[in-house]
Amino acid sequence: MNNRWNQFIYKCWAPFYDAFFNNGMFYRARKKVFQDVHFSSEQRILFVGVGTGADLAFIPHEVNVTAIDYSSEMLQKAKDKYKNPSITFHQMDAQRLTFDSFSFDVVVASLILSVVPDAEQALKEMTRVVKPKGTILIFDKFETKKKSAAFPKKIFRPFVKLLGTDIGLSFEYVFEASRDQLILKENSSVMLKGMYRKIILQKVDE
């Protein structure tokens, strides 16, 4: 995967993305991710890879939200759905955030680490812009440790990447590079027997 290819493939996905990834079990999984997360009007929230804005439905209207995505087509879908003045949209690369360090209380990253070319770099950027003791909330798919699933994934992984996502990404591998700055608070299954997970990270107090 690379940014140019992702830009093309998500331009293709944009018209019917919600029909696949904001419906049925995906909607229920997103709801489960956010059900115990509480936001306040005093917080600054960053959505990295907001896509068509599927997760914004779970955020109170008065919360200060900044939402970014690399795909202009996906971002336009989100803009069209959410005209709330408390939400600001920017086209931006998750691997090169232009925000100052320590800018946000909460960073939300749904189905983005498995999409970007360099997931480690994207997590490093999220870690940089979140405040000390701030939270990074991740909803994404990662490889499971079941050996029975390993061989089929090796076969299909290159083909699935052409659709704009990685089904063989290891969270443990991605997390390792930022381990000294983050505390793992939760790592739980929300869909497909642990393939899709809810992960909560807290930045250490500096």
Domain chopping of the chain, boundaries = 3-203
Amino acid 150: pLDDT: 56
Residues in the chain: 206
Distance CA 71, CA 180 (A): 31
Q: What is the DSSP string of 47-110?
A: EET-TTSGGGGGS-TTSEEEEEES-HHHHHHHHHH---TTEEEEE--TTS--SPTT-EEEEEEE
Identify the three-state secondary structure at position 127.
helix
Distance CA 186, CA 136 (A): 11
Question: Model pTM?
Answer: 0.92
pLDDT in tens, the chain (206 residues): 677 777 888 889 889 889 988 899 999 999 999 999 999 999 999 999 999 999 999 999 899 999 999 999 999 999 999 999 999 999 999 999 999 999 999 999 999 999 999 999 999 999 999 999 999 999 999 987 655 455 555 665 665 666 668 778 999 999 999 999 999 999 999 999 889 999 999 999 87
Amino acid 163: pLDDT: 67
- Residue pair 143/168 in contact by the 8 Å Cβ criterion: yes
Amino acid 146: pLDDT: 54
Burial of 161 (0-12, 13-18, 19+ CB in 10 A): middle
Amino acid 148: pLDDT: 44
CATH topology of domain 3-203: Rossmann fold (3.40.50)
Cα–chain center distance at 67: 11
Distance CA 145, CA 137 (A): 22
